[in-house]
Amino acid sequence: MQRASVFIILIAIQATLALKVGEFRTLSHAVKGVVNLINETSIRVDDFYYDGLGPDAYFYAGSKGQPGHNGYFVLMPDVRGVNGKGKLPKGSVFSGEPLTLTLPKGKNVFQIKWLSVWCERFSVNFGDMFVPRRCLGA
């Protein structure tokens, strides 16, 4: 097997490795999905659902307490006009697709207690999941 082929296979294997840490609890707007840690700064949400009707929804994470203003925005790639800022576009429905999220500089998955789909305008939690302490070696 050629060296380039082996490299491609290794990349494919690495892309599939992830630690499942939980699933979103649906609170509003049909939010659901399976949360996986990919590496120290990346999270993959598989089978993500969202009805697109929230006026100002973002992925939001925090290291203490409950989802609320004590967290920080989690970035996602340019998906449907998001432009890497983490905002879920109003009116854009997600029906079971995977999304890869990137933590902001200076943050890592070992600091996360919870992940939420949060409405910034009305301070409403549309769905959340709490990372089990055992998953992070705590």
What are the extents of the domains in the chain?
19-133
CA atoms within 13 A on the CB side of 81: 6
Say which range, 11-15, 42-46, 68-72, 73-77, has the weakest mean pLDDT. Answer: 11-15
The rounded mean pLDDT for the chain is 84
Confidence band for 9, pLDDT divided at 50, 70 and 90 = very low
- DSSP symbol at 30: T
Sheet holding 25-26, edge to edge: 25-26, 124-130, 114-119, 57-62, 72-73
Q: Are 118 and 54 in contact (CB under 8 A)?
A: no
Residues 3-12, mean pLDDT to the nearest whole number: 46
